[in-house]
Amino acid sequence: MSLCSWLATPTAVLVGTSLGAKKGLLLRGGSTLERFSGVNTIVFDKTGTLTIGRPVVKKILVQDSQADKTPELSTEFCNIILLYWSSMKLAWLNSNGNWSEVDILKLAAGVESSTIHPIGKAIVEAAKAQNCLNVKVAQGTFFEEPGSGAVATVDKKKVAVGTMDWVQRHGVVGDSPFQEAEEFKNQSVVYVGIDGILAGVIYVEDQIREDARHVIESLTHQGINTYLLSGDKRSAAEYVASAVGIPKNRVLYGVKPDEKKNFISKLQEGQNVVAMVGDGINDAAALASSHVGIAIGGGVGAASEVSSIVLMQNRLSQFHSTHKLLRCELGDATVACYSYQRKLELLDALELSRLTMKTVKQNLWWAFAYNIVGIPVAAGTLLPVTGTMLSPSIAGALMGLSSIGVMSNSILLRWRFKSIEKDIHKLPLYVKAPLDAENTGNGDARLQRPY
């Protein structure tokens, strides 16, 4: 076997992975490129993947406002029951305190200060803004379940923060008495249970990535099916899916980490090559079970370790200013516009894997064809016909030439990828926004923080 056939695959893979590294894509070997080039289904996590992963606390509702409503009584023992109800309410207030929004935020932040989930970080940031992050978790009492919530003893109180199911498992009895207003419909909700009582709820909102819709539309145009998996409530998950262009019948909400993994396994049963995109420990099992796991922003340790591809930047796309401030006409007014070039890392990774595999096949066909022709000639096939025979030195030189051809074709992958990038990134050229806005990725201009 000639040297060029040995070089056909590794040279193309080497160029492909080095190109990926320059663009912030950590690709774990040639097998990853091969699998990703054949992907026909991509599943997205919501928080930190299709959203920017920096939620903010928008509203805190306190149970006291509900407790003040005395139930209507119409029995002949109305006065006795009313007196009993009032005494029980007074005892509850004396033992548990008349919770305020700051109290709820303080205790919830005390628990969430030990977590790494984006929503937990949002609660902690809100507490810092209110100067109420002044309680600590009792040693040995903190416990966290990915996808559900966390519980700990804070300020001598057992505080559970997470889903409704989570706080119920930690002593809260009954369903939530809070009626969800229309303004909170699309926001994530966090329940706070204190000593077995549902003390309040915290509404959190995250901003959808500006380029997410373009990425989904590009994948759909290529015939790739897209799904959204989220542990959030239905309305919040469907709102994000609708905003980015994922059909509602491909949205799974309220799912735990093991349920995400099971869904990935179910998709794989139908001859689908499935990629999973996530960023947190909640996604680790699904990332590991998919054909290609993609961690965004480096992910947490567990997510990045099990992923085949890591998008090192914390975004689906990356904005680079072309250092041009242009004047754009908007109706009768002239406004300032900034010109940006967008690097869609997920689409880059997909196209790079396809081009690399195409280059590998070209190299193998070149090596095969060259050897099919060259070896018989070197063995003297032409001697009876032409009376000539290749000398060993010439045959060796021609063999080296075939290797040069393989390596040259692999190096040309750089040029092919650069030329095709222009077709990948078909987004509006001009973005009417200041350089310090969310478009630049510095994170300073985001959702308003009421807390």
Residues 212-269 have pLDDT tens digits of: 998 999 999 999 999 999 989 999 999 999 999 999 999 999 999 999 999 999 999 8
pLDDT on residue 326: 40
Is the model more confident about 444 or about 218?
A: 218
pLDDT on residue 385: 75
Q: Evaluate if residue 2 carries a pLDDT over 70.
A: no
Identify the band that residue 410 occupies on the pLDDT scale cut at 50, 70 and 90: confident
For residue 195, indicate whether it is catalytic: no
- Asked if 3-54+208-347+427-440 and 56-66+94-205 have one fold, the answer is no
Q: Evaluate if residue 74 carries a pLDDT over 90.
A: no
3-state secondary structure the chain: CCHHHHHHHHHHHHHHHHHHHHCCEEECCHHHHHHHHCCCEEEEEHHHHHECCCCEEEEEEECHHHHCCCCCCCCCCHHHHHHHHHHHHHHHHHHHCCCCHHHHHHHHHHHHCCCCCHHHHHHHHHHHHCCCCCCCECCCCCEEECCCEEEEEECCEEEEEECHHHHHHCCCCCCCCCCCCHHHCCCEEEEEEECCEEEEEEEEECCECCCHHHHHHHHHHCCCEEEEECCCCHHHHHHHHHHHCCCHHHEECCCCHHHHHHHHHHHHCCCCCEEEEECCHHHHHHHHHCCEEEEECCCCHHHHHHCCEEECCCCCEEEEEEEEEEEEEECCEEEEEEEEEEEEHHHHHHHHHHHHHHHHHHHHHHHHHHHHHHHHHHCCCCHHHHCCCCCHHHHHHHHHHHHHHHHHHHHHHHHHHHHHHHHHCCCCCEECCCCCCHHHCCCCCCCCCCC
pLDDT on residue 345: 72
Residues 107-117 have pLDDT tens digits of: 999 999 988 88
Residues 117-136 have pLDDT tens digits of: 889 999 999 999 999 888 88
pLDDT on residue 71: 40
pLDDT on residue 340: 36
**CATH, domain range 3-54+208-347+427-440:** 3.40.50.1000
Domain ranges (residues) in the chain: 3-54+208-347+427-440, 56-66+94-205
pLDDT on residue 301: 64
Mean pLDDT of the region 162-186: 83
Mean pLDDT of the region 45-57: 89
pLDDT on residue 344: 53
pLDDT on residue 388: 73
Residues 312-368 have pLDDT tens digits of: 765 565 433 333 444 444 444 444 433 333 445 788 888 888 888 998 898 888 888
- Among the residue ranges 21-35, 81-95, 189-203, the one predicted with the least confidence is 81-95
Structure tokens at 40: 């026909």
Q: Give the C-alpha separation, 430 to 414, whole Å.
A: 27
pLDDT on residue 420: 63
**Domain 56-66+94-205 part of CATH 3.40.1110.10:** yes
Q: Evaluate if residue 273 carries a pLDDT over 80.
A: yes
pLDDT on residue 275: 94
pLDDT on residue 68: 40
